[in-house]
Amino acid sequence: MNRHKILFKSYIRRTFNYTFIIALFLVLLISARPGWGATYYVKNGGNDSLDGLSDSTAWATIAKVQTAVRSGDTVYFRSQDTWTSSSVPILNVTTAGVTYDGSTWGSGTRAKITTTYMPSSSNVLGIVRLSANNTTFKGFEIDVNDSRSTGIWVGSSTFSIDNVTIDNCVVHNLGGVSGDWHYGILVTPYAGSAVALVNSNITIQNSEVYDTFHEGIAVYAAWTRYRSRNNNILIRNNYVHDTGSTSQSGCGVEIANDSDNVTVEFNTITKNHGVGIALRNSPAGEGGDNGYRVSGPDNTIIRYNIIAENNYNGIQVWNPSRYSASDSYFVISADIYGNIFYNNGVINTQYNYAHDFFIEGYEGYRDGYAGSTFNIYNNTFFNTVNTNSNNNASVSLGSTGVMNGGTVNFRNNIIYFSSTATDYGALYYRLSGTTFNYSNNIIYRADGGSKIAVRNVGGSNYTNSQVSTWSTTSFGTNPNFTGGTLPTGFTGTYGTNMVPNTTYFAISTGNALNKGYTLGSQYNGCINGAGLANPSVRPAGAYDIGAYQYVYVTAEPSAPTGLTIVQ
């Protein structure tokens, strides 16, 4: 065999080997589909025996979706269609890295998932379960159809969950009877064994939750479950309303137990039967007295929300409990800034207190706020409807007992209050061992005269004209709101042009301008500027008092006159 033939055969073998290796690599890469997965379509009247890759070959059932999808896939549900089942979960997401989209394809608004399942007891775990990492679930209506069930549950009973997004969904119509505990959207690891599970990096945004028997959105690390924890949860630009019931008050948003680094921002939380936002630890009856607890919700941020017309309290902090005199305390700490609160405490049929903001106290060793810090900055509180006869203050630090321990920093807030009921003051506090730092506030009784603006139980009380005696940097004067129509939500898109939909609480004159306390840079946002593409921030001149920061606009120079063109 001559030399040329040998070289040619060697070349052929090498080419074949390289081609085979490359082809095998491509097959394996495509089969893995890590980032360039398939796009599938699902519609009523589809056919599960087809490939699902187009409108004409779309699948029909959720069961087919669950058995076929792989990581990297996107599944479009036709937006005018409905999927119904008598068993739950109807959609059980267990494959990581899949996007489910119910609003992009079709002629409707959102694909609907609903149930005819009617359990005899409360079903916590949801008719939609998101139990896989890197999941996006967007553009669906979840109609629970008066079932005693949770709408969407994020979590697993066997492993931790990371990176889940719920976007542009509507969850509603949860039934129930007294004593039921289920939720519109629930974020919780559901560990039942001695394994510490964590839900982390969960986003709930641009969604609506309403008509729920109990909580609307719950970030709840259950102390009946071993070391259950949530971490790094974002709740942004949601509309949560009409949650709870007269027999089971519930709340719009709940953050409970070991749920840390939760941010609640740009939400409208209104007309809920109980509390707008609850920040709490579980009492003994919910497992708080067992060895599974670690601490309370820490590093919570509640900012730039509209919290209005909730029956009892706008925000309530409670159960900072230790369970025996020798037990450790469980920290509840939060930054609460740039929010608008108005007319909370409109109805009080179950409890004997109602406020826009309330840190609850207890008698005895359960006053466990030791180690807790609450930074309450640049909020606007407005209340002209609270006629509760037992402690009707707009802002109350302790009332059902003493707030014992911890630190409250209360600066740059406006309280505008008027009430015909028993005079508890616009700001009421009853403290023991609590460090209370306050300055640069406007606290104003619109009903004036001898009405109390600041009530210090065990100390002195102060009317409008005496507020500057209580705090030399504070004012008992009218904040001079722009007025008009109260805001009912936000307009625009977050990161582009999001602001409250009216400017009722904006200020342009008076003591609110430039007389605020200078805070750290993390508090420099304002409710009329933090949602913009180019955020307007504090200070503009100096810190303003209240949720709004006045933005100074420099007038453009006038065009010159009297000029002539010289050739």
pLDDT in 10s for each residue of the chain, 567 residues: 454 444 445 544 555 455 555 555 444 444 444 447 999 999 999 999 999 999 999 999 999 999 999 999 999 999 999 999 999 999 999 999 999 999 999 999 999 999 998 888 888 889 999 999 999 999 999 999 999 999 999 999 889 999 999 999 999 999 988 778 889 999 999 866 678 899 999 999 999 999 999 899 999 988 877 788 999 999 999 999 999 876 667 899 999 999 999 999 999 999 999 899 999 888 766 766 667 777 789 999 999 999 999 998 999 998 766 555 555 667 889 999 999 999 998 876 556 678 999 998 764 545 578 889 999 999 999 999 887 777 789 999 987 788 888 999 999 999 999 988 778 899 999 998 899 999 999 999 999 889 999 999 989 999 999 999 999 999 999 999 999 999 999 999 999 999 999 999 999 999 999 999 999 999 999 999 999 999 989 998 899 999 999 987 544 455 555 555 554
Q: What region, left, alpha or beta, does residue 277 occupy, with left being phi > 0 and alpha being psi -120 to 50 degrees?
A: beta
What 3-state DSSP class applies to 470? helix
Cα 190 to Cα 34, 98, 155, 517: the distances in Å are 28, 22, 7, 44
- pLDDT value at position 29? 44
Would the CA dihedral through 28, 34, 36, 38 be positive or negative? positive
How do beta strands 497-500 and 490-491 pair?
antiparallel
Q: Amino acid identity of 536?
A: S
| Distance from C-alpha of 212 to C-alpha of 176, rounded to nearest angstrom | 8
For 139-182, strand residue ranges (E) read: 140-147, 152-154, 161-167, 170-174
Residue 555 burial (CB count, 10 A):
5
- pLDDT value at position 152? 98
Backbone angles phi, psi at 137, to 5 degrees: -130, 105
Q: Are 234 and 202 in contact (CB under 8 A)?
A: yes
Q: Are 83 and 112 in contact (CB under 8 A)?
A: yes
Would the CA dihedral through 447, 448, 450, 453 be positive or negative? positive
| Distance from C-alpha of 348 to C-alpha of 143, rounded to nearest angstrom | 29
* Token code pair at residue 281: 């630890």
Q: Are 444 and 416 in contact (CB under 8 A)?
A: yes
| Distance from C-alpha of 162 to C-alpha of 282, rounded to nearest angstrom | 24
What 3-state DSSP class applies to 233? strand
- pLDDT value at position 247? 61
Q: Give kind and range of the element (H or E) at residue 532.
A: strand 531-532
Cα 402 to Cα 310, 321, 359, 365, 457: the distances in Å are 24, 13, 10, 11, 10
Q: Are 79 and 112 in contact (CB under 8 A)?
A: no
- pLDDT value at position 30? 45
How do beta strands 490-491 and 39-42 pair?
unpaired
